[in-house]
Amino acid sequence: MTFTESVAKANHWERRVIFKNGLDVDFIIIDEELLLHKNDQLLIAKEICSKNICVLIDKKELHSALSGLHTQPKLFLTPSFNEFNNIVNDFYFHYLWAYKKLMRGEYWVTLQCLNGYLKNKLLIMLEFYEHALNGNNYNTFYGGRFIEKWVEPDIRQDFSTLFSRNNPDEMKNILNNNFDFFTKISMDTAEKLNYSFPKEEKDKLKKWVQEHY
pLDDT at position 123, please? 98
Q: Which residues contact 121 (CB under 8 A, 6 or more apart)?
A: 87, 90, 91, 94, 182
Distance CA 162, CA 188 (A): 19
| DSSP type of residue 39 | G
Question: Looking at the predicted structure, is the pLDDT value of residue 56 above 80?
Answer: yes
Beta bridge partners of 2: 17
Per residue in 73-94, pLDDT tens?
Answer: 778 899 999 999 999 999 999 9
Q: Which residues contact 71 (CB under 8 A, 6 or more apart)?
A: 46, 47, 49, 50
Assign 137 to helix, strand or coil: coil
Per residue in 17-38, pLDDT tens?
Answer: 999 999 999 999 999 999 999 9
Nearest CA-CA partner of 83 in 23, 155, 131, 150 = 131
